[in-house]
Amino acid sequence: MTGVLIPKESIGKVDLLLGQATMLAADRWDEVAGMIQQAMGIVLLMAAAHPSSRPVGVPGLGSMSVTDCVDQALREVQSWDLALAAALPDLARLRVLLTDVRTDLNVTSARRG
């Protein structure tokens, strides 16, 4: 891969966001929680493979809901260059998972009114 920079800080942010989402869904046993964990597993490995040299933070992380975390993680991932697919083979799976989780969360919240 030449010419495409790995967005290490952004990966770090997504790692934090999905870690938070996993924590918030820790005692949920439904499919959505499973998909969040799948996405978390992908990003955890990405973050280990491409650690950021600077400390990464997400403002207001502690007060975010699962939906907020997933929304922001998806925005972050969608900002990445698609040419990264060669360097990050799980990228496509991550995007699909986050989209599905977001849809399911929205459906659930709509049902709850």
Interaction of residue 57 with other proteins, rule CB under 8 A: yes
How many residues are recorded in the chain? 113
Per-residue tokens: 4: 């495409």
Q: Give the shortest CB-68-to-other proteins separation in angstroms.
A: 14
Residue 97: Cβ within 10 Å count: 25
Min dist CB 5 to other proteins, Å, is 19
CB of 97 to other proteins, least distance (A): 10
Of 47, 57, 52, 58, the C-alpha closest to 88 is 47
Cβ nearer to other proteins, comparing 89 with 106: 89
Question: How many whole angstroms separate alpha carbon 99 and alpha carbon 14?
Answer: 14
SS3 assignment, position 80 = coil
Q: Which part of the chain contacts other proteins (CB under 8 A), choosing from 50-58, 68-76, 79-87, 102-110?
A: 50-58
Between 3 and 29, whose beta carbon lies closer to other proteins? 29
Among 37, 68, 95, 100, binds other proteins (CB under 8 A): 37
